[in-house]
Amino acid sequence: MARNFSIRGVKIQDPRVLMRAAIGVLLAANLAAAVVAFHPFGGGADDLRREQQRLGAQLSQLQQRLASSRVLVNKVNTARSQGDQFLGQYFTSEATTASTILAELTETAKDAGIRMGTAQCSYEPIEGSDTLKMLSTQVGFEGTYANLTKFVNLLDKSPRFMIIESMQAAAPQQQGGQSLNVTLKIDTFVKGALGNAI
């Protein structure tokens, strides 16, 4: 005689169906346990070894990149400190540059044995910089060729950073060619205050 089974309000006529359902659930559980036992999530030993090698290679690349970045940072810091030293040694402040350069030109001309004429100074902006300017000084000198050569050599050995941009020489007719008149345009560089108008 067939019995009726009721599971949560669902009537099952045949107990074999219930047994088959239980066996199916146990089979699914066994399959899940087999998957976990024989192929763990995250891969097998070979997969983990390959992943470890890939991560090791990636780590060494990142360490090399970090080392090269540190080298670049050291070079930038060295360049910054050397640039500051250069600016401090060769560039003068805007307030004293003209008088300092004129005093040095006067002293150098005296040491070379030539006579210095009048000088004209003008500040010019340096493109791309808010704090640096160029002082152009145009000045005339009179003396012999040997003395003018000595003057240029003394300027070249000056502790200041001076550039002779142009030189014009002329021999006066009335003095028989013993003396030369030379006009020099000399550029020097100036540290100005940030945002100062020229």
Distance CA(116)–CA(126), nearest Å, equals 28
Cβ-count burial of 145 within 10 angstroms (0-12 exposed, 13-18 middle, 19+ buried)?
middle
- Cα 73 to the chain's mean position, in Å? 9
Give pLDDT, residue 196: 42
Provide the pLDDT for residue 174.
63
CATH for 92-191 (3.30.70.60, 3.40.50.1000, 1.20.1260.10, 3.30.365.10): 3.30.70.60
Domain regions of the chain by residue span:
5-38, 43-90, 92-191
Give pLDDT tens digits for 144-157.
889 999 999 998 88
pTM to 2 decimal places: 0.56
- As given in the structure block, the two tokens for residue 48 are 């983990």
Mean pLDDT along residues 23-39? 84
Closest CA to 1 of 15, 20, 22, 11: 15
